[in-house]
């Protein structure tokens, strides 16, 4: 068995491990639930503890099976493994004494998030070929690896020991680094290095896009698209996260989880080239309906506030008819506003597609009015050349017997 076949076999074995562990964890959670499920708890159990390792590991194995040398598949496998492994134990309560096993578990818990972060941050550097755009970008990989090793070495000697998300501590028998220094100056400096890795990866992806051919540009668009969606989802929750009510926690976590799960799906589609060129349609539709939703929401709430203010000043009461009227206004504006927004976006960002639509519309009108067959053939050739730009065009006409 050669090296590539062993890599593929290893990938599927790791995938099977992630699926089995995640499924066992989910079954255990379901059996331990006595009352009704909350949305937040369901998203945590199904989304993070099951869907994330299963989806990441499955799509990683598929990529490795088709392109064993592509590092992106292995970078996707890392988050799957790390999210599955912590489910094997619980550190909810402090143990009576610090054994070697507990020591290693707490140590692993302190840095287990690093493979997830670095794997996601390094994917743009290696996407979609599995290698950096050029050898001069390899320093980013070495920087990430060095930061990883340095971090796990430092955490080995932090005193006292404290697992993530818990408020209890245990003395570290080999520790000499104060916890206050670790959580203060060290993390600040280390965070600067983390931002350097992320920034360099994103810049390398943009540099690759500038010099890429058409297919590779379409692949990169998939990653840029899900990245933009994730930022749009994450940004408002990050800046307003502490003000979210408990009733909204489940929905916030659900949307955030779906934006995370979109990454491996988009990456697998791009690398395996399944329906690759549909990304332009997806981007176009997303832009159109995002702008349309924002404009309609502004008109809707603006109309309600304005009319309620006028009616309140005139009658001193609030009228429910204003909401009905505003809804009818939105329904009447939807179709014409969508056409205007789509035309505006096509002109600004999809100029080639917009020009092609205009040329086809003009040809349709010419075909209705033109009676000269030679002139119609010449116009058809012009339209095909202008919209599709083929290397060669031939018109076949069926001879009609009189």
Q: What is the pLDDT of residue 385?
A: 62
Inform me whether the pLDDT recorded for 235 exceeds 70.
Answer: no
Phi-psi region of 273 (alpha: psi -120 to 50; beta: other; left: phi over 0): left
Whether the CB-CB separation of 115 and 259 falls below 8 Å is answered with no
Inform me whether the pLDDT recorded for 236 exceeds 60.
Answer: yes
* Cα distances (Å, whole numbers) of residue 180 to 112, 166, 185, 242: 20, 16, 9, 24
Mean pLDDT confidence for 300-314 = 68
Residue 31, C-beta contacts closer than 8 angstroms, at least 6 positions apart: none
pLDDT digits (tens, 9 = 90+) for 69-97: 888 999 999 989 988 875 445 555 667 77
52 vs 271: CA distance, rounded Å: 19
pLDDT band (50, 70, 90) for residue 245: very low
Residue 213 domain-assigned (yes or no): no
Of 111-125, 148-162, 346-360, the one with minimum mean pLDDT is 346-360
DSSP string, 140-173: HHHHHHHHHHHHHHHHTTEESB--TT----B--T
Q: Are residues 345 and 355 in the same domain?
A: no
Q: Are residues 334 and 355 in the same domain?
A: no
Residue 396 domain-assigned (yes or no): yes
Average pLDDT, the chain: 76
Q: What is the pLDDT of residue 251?
A: 73
Residue 122 domain-assigned (yes or no): no
Q: Are residues 305 and 334 in the same domain?
A: yes
Question: In 275-285, which positions are buried (b, 16+ CB within 10 angstroms) versus exposed (e)?
Answer: ebeebeeebbe
110 vs 166: CA distance, rounded Å: 11
pLDDT digits (tens, 9 = 90+) for 109-131: 788 888 888 888 899 999 888 88
Q: Are residues 395 and 358 in the same domain?
A: yes
Mean pLDDT confidence for 250-264 = 81
Quote the number of domains for the chain.
Answer: 2
Residue 344 domain-assigned (yes or no): yes
Q: Which of 313, 330, 349 is the last residue of a domain?
A: 349
pLDDT digits (tens, 9 = 90+) for 32-64: 777 677 777 788 788 888 888 999 999 999 889
pLDDT band (50, 70, 90) for residue 243: very low
Mean pLDDT confidence for 147-160 = 88
Against a cut of 0.85, is the pTM above it? no
Q: What is the pLDDT of residue 88?
A: 45
Q: Are residues 333 and 363 in the same domain?
A: no
Q: Are residues 296 and 343 in the same domain?
A: yes
Q: What is the pLDDT of residue 149?
A: 92
Q: What is the pLDDT of residue 33?
A: 77
Q: Which two three-digit tokens encode residue 198? A: 């992320």
Question: In 86-122, which positions are buried (b, 16+ CB within 10 angstroms) versus exposed (e)?
Answer: bbeeebeeeeeeeeeebbebbbbbbbbebbbbbbbbb
Q: Are residues 358 and 400 in the same domain?
A: yes
Q: Which of 349, 366, 391 is the last residue of a domain?
A: 349
Whether the CB-CB separation of 200 and 181 falls below 8 Å is answered with no
Inform me whether the pLDDT recorded for 265 exceeds 60.
Answer: yes
Q: Please name every residue paired with 161 in a beta bridge, in sequence order, or none if there are none.
A: 170
Q: What is the pLDDT of residue 141?
A: 93
Mean pLDDT confidence for 97-107 = 78
Residue 87 domain-assigned (yes or no): no
288 vs 98: CA distance, rounded Å: 58
160 vs 155: CA distance, rounded Å: 10
Q: Which of 349, 370, 392 is the last residue of a domain?
A: 349
Q: What is the pLDDT of residue 315?
A: 65
Q: Which structural domain range is residue 393 located in? A: 351-402
Q: Are residues 382 and 345 in the same domain?
A: no
Burial class (CB in 10 A: 0-12, 13-18, 19+), 27: exposed
pLDDT band (50, 70, 90) for residue 231: confident
Q: Report how far Cα 16 is from the mean position of its chain's Cα atoms.
A: 24
Residue 385 domain-assigned (yes or no): yes
């Amino acid at each position: 068995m050669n090296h590539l076949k062993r890599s593929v076999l290893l990938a599927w074995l790791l995938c099977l491990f992630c699926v089995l562990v995640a499924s066992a964890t989910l079954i255990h959670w379901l059996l331990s639930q006595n009352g009704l499920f909350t949305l937040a708890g369901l998203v945590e159990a199904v989304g993070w503890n099951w869907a994330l390792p299963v989806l990441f590991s499955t799509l990683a194995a598929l990529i490795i099976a088709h392109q064993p040398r592509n590092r992106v598949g292995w970078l996707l496998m890392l988050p799957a493994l790390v999210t599955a492994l912590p489910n094997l134990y619980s550190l909810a309560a402090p143990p009576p004494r610090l054994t070697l096993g507990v020591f290693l578990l707490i140590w692993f818990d302190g840095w287990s998030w690093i493979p997830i972060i670095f794997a996601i941050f390094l994917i743009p550097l290696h996407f979609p070929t599995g290698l950096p755009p050029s050898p001069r970008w390899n320093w980013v990989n070495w920087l990430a690896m060095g930061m990883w090793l340095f971090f796990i070495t430092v955490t080995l000697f932090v005193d006292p020991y404290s697992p993530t998300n818990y408020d209890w501590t245990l003395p570290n028998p080999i520790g000499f680094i104060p916890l206050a220094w670790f959580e203060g100056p060290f993390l600040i400096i280390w965070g600067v290095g983390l931002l350097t890795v992320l920034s360099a990866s994103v810049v390398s992806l943009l540099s690759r896009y500038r010099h890429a051919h058409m297919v590779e540009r379409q692949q990169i668009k998939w990653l840029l698209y899900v990245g933009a969606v994730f930022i749009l989802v994450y940004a408002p929750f990050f800046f307003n996260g502490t003000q979210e009510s408990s009733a909204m926690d489940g929905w916030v976590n659900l949307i955030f989880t779906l934006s995370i799960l979109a990454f491996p799906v988009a990456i697998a589609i791009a690398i395996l080239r399944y329906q690759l060129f549909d990304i332009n349609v997806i981007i176009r539709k997303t832009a159109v309906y995002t702008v349309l939703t924002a404009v309609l929401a502004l008109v809707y709430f603006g109309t309600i506030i304005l009319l309620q203010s006028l009616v309140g000043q005139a009658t001193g009461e609030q009228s429910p008819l204003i909401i009905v009227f505003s809804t009818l206004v939105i329904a009447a504006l939807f179709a014409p506003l969508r056409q205007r927004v789509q035309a505006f976006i096509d002109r600004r960002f999809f100029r080639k597609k917009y020009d092609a639509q205009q040329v086809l519309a003009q040809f349709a009108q010419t075909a209705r009015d033109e009676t000269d067959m030679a002139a119609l053939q010449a116009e058809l050739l012009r339209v095909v050349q202008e919209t599709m730009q083929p290397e060669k065009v031939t018109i076949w006409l069926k001879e009609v017997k009189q």
